[in-house]
Amino acid sequence: PMYFLLCHLAFVDFYGTSAITPNTLVNSLRKTKSMPFYACATQVCCFITFSVWELLMLSVMAYDRYVAICHPLLYVVLMPRRLCIQMVTSSYIYGFTVGLVQAVATFKMSFCDSNVVNQFYCD
């Protein structure tokens, strides 16, 4: 189960950094520093989703290591592969739900001024 969880953590880390980094590199080379509203909303949703996934995967891995250290003889009984798959799947579903709800709630808000953010998050 440890390597199964490590593979999923590596997946989340890789795609979590690729949600922000490419647009940052493009904006550093272009003269215009803006991006479309829906692209920014998608980027925020992806960033929040991958952040929640990473936190949940680290929590699942902490529980896995706790069981392996504190109950080594019962490890196979307490952490079957089916349970690992359920915990990873539920963390993906929950993380996507949280990311989507947070992004929609953020971009539904009305702001007093324009929706242009200069060199802050979505760059």
Q: What percent of the chain has pLDDT over 70?
A: 87
Specify whether the CB–CB gap between 46 and 17 falls below 8 A.
no
Please report where in the chains the tokens 């989507």 appear, as a residue.
Answer: 100
In a domain, 114, yes or no: no
In a domain, 89, yes or no: yes
Residue 9 confidence class, pLDDT cut points 50, 70, 90: very high
Q: What is the pLDDT of residues 24-53, one digit of tens each?
A: 777 777 766 677 778 888 888 999 999 999
Domain of residue 98, residue span: 2-19+37-107
In a domain, 15, yes or no: yes
In a domain, 8, yes or no: yes
Specify whether the CB–CB gap between 67 and 12 falls below 8 A.
no
In a domain, 24, yes or no: no
Distance CA(76)–CA(69), nearest Å, equals 12
Domain count across the chain: 1
Distance CA(54)–CA(16), nearest Å, equals 8
Report the predicted TM-score, pTM, of the whole model to 2 decimal places: 0.81
In a domain, 31, yes or no: no
In a domain, 42, yes or no: yes
